[in-house]
Amino acid sequence: MEAVAEGLWGLADYAEKKGEIGKAVKCLEAICQSHASFLPIVEVKTRLRISTLLLKHSHNVNQAKSHLERSQLLLKQIPSCFDLKFRTFSMLSQCYHLVGAIPPQKQTLLKALDLTASLPPEVSVRLWACNFNSQLANALIIEGDYHSAFSALESGFESASQLCYPELQMFFATSVLHVHLMQWYDDNSVQSALRRCDDLWESLGPDRREQCLGLLFYNELLHIFYQLRVCDYKNANQHVDKLDAAMKADSQKMREAQRLTNELNALNQSLSRPDLPNRERSLLSSKQAQIQDRISSMNNTNWSAEQPLEPAYFGNTKRPWQEKLVLAPPPIDGEWLPKSAVYALVDLMVVIFGRPRGLFKECAKRIQSGMRAIQVELVKLGITDGVREVDLQHSAIWMAGVYLMLLMQFLENKVAVELTRSEFVEAQEALVQMKEWFIRFPTILQACESIIEMLRGQYAHSVGCYSEAAFHYIEAAKLTGSKSMQAMCQVYAAVSYICIGDAESSSQALDLIGPIYRMKDSFVGVREQASVLFAYGLLLMRQDEYEEARARLAKGLQIAHNSMGNLQLIAQYLTILGHLALALHDTVQAREILRSSLTLAKKLYDIPTQIWVLSVLTGLYKGLGEIGNEMENEEYRNKKLDDLQTKLADAHSSIHHIELIAKLRIEVQQFHELDIKRAMESQSMGVNLDIPESVGLSTPMPASSSSRLLDLDNLDSRRRGKRKI
């Protein structure tokens, strides 16, 4: 009977190579369904192979799970065969993971770890222990048991240390850092995790680091996420540049590999001709060997020659090795995100760090390339026009969520760029796209609802609809569980209330600013502190408290300049400080400050801030009797004012304007919400990108709000009663 089994295995291999997966599965199922008696080990190997095919090429997770559960029962009768037992444990764990059955997954993994602990500490056993600890940590994170997750990852790190395997140690060190960023307990723990990653990465040496491209991207991105969180924008830029260079080099390498592969295929086609002369065949064979060697050397990594354990792949056909960014060696399925998603994430980082510096051309290019790549991947997942989340296969939900979240982040940054440039119609279009995606995928994109409301507020404020802006900011604060996001939205709402200008609105602004100002030092990073100082300084200026306003604003400007590098926020700080200097009769400082602000506003194509600065400069020149400068300045201001009025008229006449500013939340129809939430939660280590400016913590500086704050020419006529914090 063993010969029969080997024959059917061979037929299954042949069918799989031809892409006939159904036939391959039928060949293997013939063994399991046969009335003849096969050895248990034969049936186990067959069922493992069926499960692998189903997980790689279909969405039949439950059928694969049934085969693995049967294999586990059969293996209980066999005292040895530990490798088969480990493979079964690992694949069964992944099946439970995919269907969201976390308790049985944990039970399976704990049994697997018990088995590894009972065996001699051989290399393969320790590697499997690393596999199981990695999967267990992920399962524990889903249940919110972060302390146990840290313990599992540290156990994996200890096994890797005993193996003297620094790359594997790095995998667990970066995983620990990732969890710290997800669940920020205290600064010291996070910084300790960062230092350990830095030390391990440095210890690998340049040659070994070059072979660990997946770890390079993972480690650098985690460092960037940390620096975004603490607002260390200046130091983060070097990590972004490193990633961008690595991405471009790898893309070039992949293009060259594809060119060589095409050339090799053409040579193979020529060599298959039976009438090819011997001399020509010899030359072509020599060239064929050279190309094969070049392709082999290009694909050479520490782990590429090893056959990895077949992971779940979330119901998608297995990608070639060259299209993966592997984090750890077999038998660990150590891929964090697909290469296309990681590369889109790098483009997104370039945008996030380029936008505050006014690098809009590069941002537009990266937004376009990132969104194009994401659309290709969404089509592969079956997401075309009209498809909604209810139509998705269960096993495709998580990967769809990754790409949809990235798409929303690109659109979010596009809205911010266009509002900064006063291109309101383009901002409308991007915001409407975000709204439409959210309506189609409301559960997967649930975290984006607050971001959309915040952006609706920014749009409304940009076009002068301050009451509507305040409404949407308050709604955004209600929709998020992030303390940081709530604080930022409340600050934005306060600025909108200040712009309304009546006594009641100023009181509402103070009510919002006060609690945040008192707790400003409790936030991680300085984003909230810089923003609330701006809003409070503006309010104090409205109340004629010039000296106190100046002190608050100077402190905020220092923070914005030293830590954040946000040119628009700096320009807005400078504009208010310039006005205050003028009000305090310090005309020399006022002129210097306002010229700096105007230079920055021009670089950002920020027309409202330019108009604001020019208005103050006109008052300065008038007070100094500089008639020539006053006339020239006023002429330029009127030109910019005409430009802005044209753009505002286009925005107000657009069909999308009313729906975006309306004081109504987006209405969506929820479908099988629990199933989708379970699928999303089952991949927490992957989907939780936790980018402070985009995923769940969308907090760009007032990209359009504070530059449209008030008409400074009429400031004196609007002063109200004074309340202090």
pLDDT for 172 equals 94
Gap between the Cα atoms of 317 and 58, Å rounded: 8
Q: How many CB atoms lie within 10 A of CB 533?
A: 26
* Burial track 688-699 (b if 16+ CB lie within 10 A, e otherwise): bbbbbbbbbbbb
pLDDT for 107 equals 94
What is the model's pTM? Answer: 0.84
- Decide: residue 50, CB within 10 A, 0-12 exposed, 13-18 middle, 19+ buried: buried
Gap between the Cα atoms of 497 and 516, Å rounded: 16
What is the four-CA torsion angle of 296, 302, 303, 306, rounded to 10 degrees?
Answer: 70
Report DSSP letters for 437-460, one per residue: HHHHSTTTTTTHHHHHHHHHHHHH
Identify which of 309, 302, 434, 417 has the alpha carbon closest to the alpha carbon of residue 367. Answer: 417
Q: Cis check for the bond before 206: say yes or no (omega within 30 of 0).
A: no
Alpha carbon separation from 700 to 78, 417, 471, 604 (Å, rounded): 60, 11, 19, 15
Cα four-point dihedral sign 57, 58, 62, 66: negative
Identify which of 463, 370, 474 has the alpha carbon closest to the alpha carbon of residue 414. Answer: 370
Q: How many residues are listed for the chain in this entry?
A: 725
User: Three-state secondary structure along 263-294?
Assistant: HHHHHHHHHCCCCCCHHHHHHHHHHHHHHHHH
For tokens 């129809």, the residue is 669
Any bridge partners for residue 335, and if so which? 326
The C-alpha angle 614, 620, 621, rounded to 5 degrees, equals 90
Q: How many CB atoms lie within 10 A of CB 420?
A: 28
The H or E element containing residue 33 is none
pLDDT for 284 equals 85
Domains of the chain: 339-681 (1.25.40.10)
Residue 129 φ then ψ, to 5°: -60, -40
Gap between the Cα atoms of 541 and 722, Å rounded: 10
361-411 pLDDT, tens per residue?
A: 999 999 999 999 999 999 988 898 888 988 887 767 888 899 999 999 999
Q: How far apart are the first and last CA of the chain?
A: 86
pLDDT for 162 equals 92
Gap between the Cα atoms of 188 and 194, Å rounded: 10
Gap between the Cα atoms of 103 and 437, Å rounded: 33
Q: Which two tokens stand for residue 148?
A: 């146990």
Residue 696 φ then ψ, to 5°: 75, -15
Identify which of 474, 428, 476, 470 has the alpha carbon closest to the alpha carbon of residue 452. Answer: 476
Gap between the Cα atoms of 291 and 532, Å rounded: 61
Identify which of 465, 702, 371 has the alpha carbon closest to the alpha carbon of residue 568. Answer: 702
Q: Which residues of the chain have pLDDT under 70?
A: 1, 299-323, 333-334, 395, 670-725
Any bridge partners for residue 326, and if so which? 335
Q: Are 347 and 366 in contact (CB under 8 A)?
A: yes
The C-alpha angle 105, 107, 108, rounded to 5 degrees, equals 65
Q: Which residues contact 262 (CB under 8 A, 6 or more apart)?
A: none
Report DSSP letters for 640-708, one per residue: HHHHHHHHHHHHHHSTTHHHHHSS-PPP----SHHHHHHHHHTTHHHH----TTTSS------SSSGGG
Q: Are 682 and 398 in contact (CB under 8 A)?
A: yes
Alpha carbon separation from 428 to 367, 457, 583, 654 (Å, rounded): 16, 12, 37, 9
